[in-house]
């Protein structure tokens, strides 16, 4: 019976560890977002172009709230959401923790590169610049990449299909505006943005340079 008890104690310690890591990841994500919202709130000039997408933003806020609530329940009252637990191996949950640790710096780096150009809505402000530095050197929408990576991370880490589903829907809603966003950038920057599109990937670095390097 002793090996069984030792295994159970190990499982309990792992579960507590997963809950702690998840809470830290959520806290860091929101700290990064709130910090940059505050830092850029007084920056930027008059809005020159806009493509309103209020319904999508409202849905994202709703699912973010649902995800936060599900995460809080998982962290502080896991027995209340145990019915949504998925039978996943321990290694995949540690993989989720590692992925979360990677995506938070990417999320911060992306915000840092955008600076005052970032906005929750689709707008072009006076003095708006085409950002091609930081992660934007290789991909046009690394913000959405980091959001999807974070959603996948917390899904694996929590092993909970409710948290995973909310994260998936949030990622899809976030990335759904890409075509409108690129159309707005083409309207503003024209050939400069078209050339930028040709040398970058949408969510990940383009594969062509990697294929040429392999040859």
Using one digit for the tens of pLDDT, what is the confidence trace for 5-42?
Answer: 544 555 677 899 999 999 999 999 999 988 888 777 65
Average pLDDT, the chain: 85
Domain covering 2-214 in this structure, CATH number = 1.20.120.1630
149 in Cβ contact with 102 (< 8 Å)? yes
Query: Looking at per-residue confidence, does 127 or 80 come out higher?
Result: 80
Query: Of 62, 32, 20, 31, which Cα lies nearest the Cα of 157?
Result: 20
Using one digit for the tens of pLDDT, what is the confidence trace for 182-206?
Answer: 999 999 999 999 999 999 999 999 9
Burial label for 181, CB within 10 Å (0-12, 13-18, 19+), is middle
137 Cβ neighbours under 8 A, 6+ residues apart: 200
| pLDDT-wise least confident of 42-46, 86-90, 173-177, 192-196 | 42-46
Residue reference for tokens 């962290």: 75
């Amino acid at each position: 019976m002793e090996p069984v008890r030792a295994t159970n104690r190990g499982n309990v310690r792992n579960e507590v560890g997963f809950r702690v890591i998840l809470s830290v990841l959520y806290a860091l994500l929101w700290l990064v977002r709130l910090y940059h919202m505050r830092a850029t709130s007084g920056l930027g000039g008059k809005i020159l172009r806009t493509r309103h997408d209020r319904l999508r933003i409202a849905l994202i806020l709703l699912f973010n709230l649902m995800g936060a609530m599900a995460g809080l329940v998982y962290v502080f009252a896991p027995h209340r959401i145990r019915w949504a637990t998925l039978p996943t191996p321990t290694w995949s949950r540690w993989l989720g923790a590692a992925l979360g640790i990677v995506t938070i710096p990417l999320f911060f780096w992306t915000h840092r590169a955008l600076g005052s150009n970032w906005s929750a809505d689709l707008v072009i402000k006076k003095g708006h610049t085409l950002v091609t530095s930081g992660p934007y050197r290789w991909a046009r929408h690394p913000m959405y990449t980091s959001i999807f990576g974070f959603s996948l991370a917390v899904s694996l880490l929590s092993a909970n299909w409710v948290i995973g589903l909310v994260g998936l829907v949030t990622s899809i809603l976030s990335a759904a505006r890409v075509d409108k966003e690129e159309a707005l950038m083409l309207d503003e920057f024209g050939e400069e943005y078209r050339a930028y599109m040709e040398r970058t990937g949408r969510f990940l670095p383009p594969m062509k340079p990697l294929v040429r390097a392999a040859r």
